[in-house]
Amino acid sequence: MQTESSQSHIYFQSLDGLRVVAALSIAVFHFYDQWAGYLAVEFFFMLSGFLFAHGYLSRNKVLTLRSYAQRRFARLYPMHLFSLVVFVLVYWLIDGGLPSYADGTLTSFVSHLFMMHGIGLNPHGLTWNYPSWAISVELWVGAAAFFLVSAGLRLRVLLSISLVCLLVMYLAVGNLSGTYQNISGFLNAGLLRGLSAFLLGIMSYAIFLRYRKTVWSRFESNRLEMLILLAILLVVFGRTDVVSKLDFFAPFLFMTGIAVFATENGYLSALVAQLSGWSMLSYSIYLNQAMMIMVVERIFSQYNDNPIFPLLTYLSMLIFYSYMTHYLVERPARAFLSIRHQRNMSVCPKRNI
């Protein structure tokens, strides 16, 4: 693990490497959905909660809501807007028109523009650039978590809220594949998933702070990392159906795994840290995948019987295009919006976790 002058500047190389693995897992899942790759979304929500705790709760100062919101907007919105526009243009070029959603083509597009399409206000399903439902959820869940933490709620209360969200998903859905669906008309499945995982991410950071103080030998760390990996592989692949109640083991395995791998004390965490240089592309990869799937499906009209070559073509094109969008769109836009944020940044007293 690389450190700078203080704890707040720790750079989690292993978690950046895992971010790459998760982004590619979701990209593969949307191309070939006969496995439980959707669980990687839980990992992303949880990683956001972990980094939220590290970035805003472990420093001597904590950003105000305004400053936090400005940072999240600069991070999330430019690439979200760009990928939405490109999706529309590519769809138009391929199909000769715009997609049609029952009773709400325009309203669903407006909900995408305001990043409100993934929180239960869009009854038309996964519309337009459909993977971005999770970006919408992350934006609003992050704001909700900010208020919960600012209210001084302790870890056990945050854990209780997370467990209640998972319990509702278990009783009402039976798995963690829900996205836009509303339970009982008002509890959005995506929001429940996002809030639960985000809060467990904060819990994961608390576990990390305690775990790294424990003296573990390299052998013990290797064994623990391997056990966590095997357990996750069992949950993801050891099922008879694509969706399963096994889903509900994943959040707790991810919570433990993030805390353990963040210490980078074992061979597996050191190995995955080698991928950290690619982590900058993960957000673009996530938002570009739906558009790229349309392109590849146009190139390979029939690939279900032998998807390997189309899949490799898709991943290669997706990574290359995401490299371009990261450097030409995402990074410059974030830098431009961050200038105003830095000028207006203010701080308030620290809250410990």
pLDDT in tens, 165-206: 999 999 999 999 988 888 887 889 999 999 999 999 999 999
Decide if pLDDT at 57 tops 60: yes
Decide if pLDDT at 3 tops 60: no
Name which of 38-47, 118-127, 227-236 the model is least confident about: 118-127
Strand (E) or helix (H) holding 77: helix 65-95
pLDDT value of position 1: 37
DSSP 98-141: ----TTTHHHHHHHHHTT-TTTT--TT-S-SSGGGHHHHHHHHH
Decide if pLDDT at 2 tops 90: no
Task: Say if 256 falls within a structural domain.
Answer: yes
List residues bridging with 348 in a β-sheet: 62
* Range of 297-306, 319-328, 341-350 with top mean pLDDT: 319-328
- Return the DSSP state at 330: I
pTM of the model: 0.89
Q: Which residue has the higher pLDDT, 291 or 349?
A: 291
E strands, 166-263, in order: 182-183, 187-188
Task: Say if 1 falls within a structural domain.
Answer: no
Q: Please give the structure tokens belonging to residue 87.
A: 């999706």
pLDDT tens by residue, 21-32: 999 999 999 998
Task: Say if 147 falls within a structural domain.
Answer: yes
SS3 per residue for 22-70: HHHHHHHHHHCCCCCHHHHHHHHHHHHHHHHHHHHCCCCEEECHHHHHH
Burial of 219 (0-12, 13-18, 19+ CB in 10 A): exposed
CA-CA distance, 194 to 52, in Å (whole number)?
14
CA angle 304/309/313 to nearest 5° reads 110
Q: Which of 102, 120, 137 is nearest to 180 (CA)?
A: 120
Overall domain count for the chain: 1
CA-CA distance, 181 to 325, in Å (whole number)?
31
Mean pLDDT of the chain: 86
pLDDT tens by residue, 267-298: 999 999 999 999 999 999 999 999 999 999 88
Task: Say if 151 falls within a structural domain.
Answer: yes
CA-CA distance, 52 to 68, in Å (whole number)?
10
Domain residue limits at 82: 7-349
Task: Say if 2 falls within a structural domain.
Answer: no
Q: Which of 18, 350, 97, 57 is nearest to 205 (CA)?
A: 57
Task: Say if 60 falls within a structural domain.
Answer: yes
CA-CA distance, 279 to 334, in Å (whole number)?
16
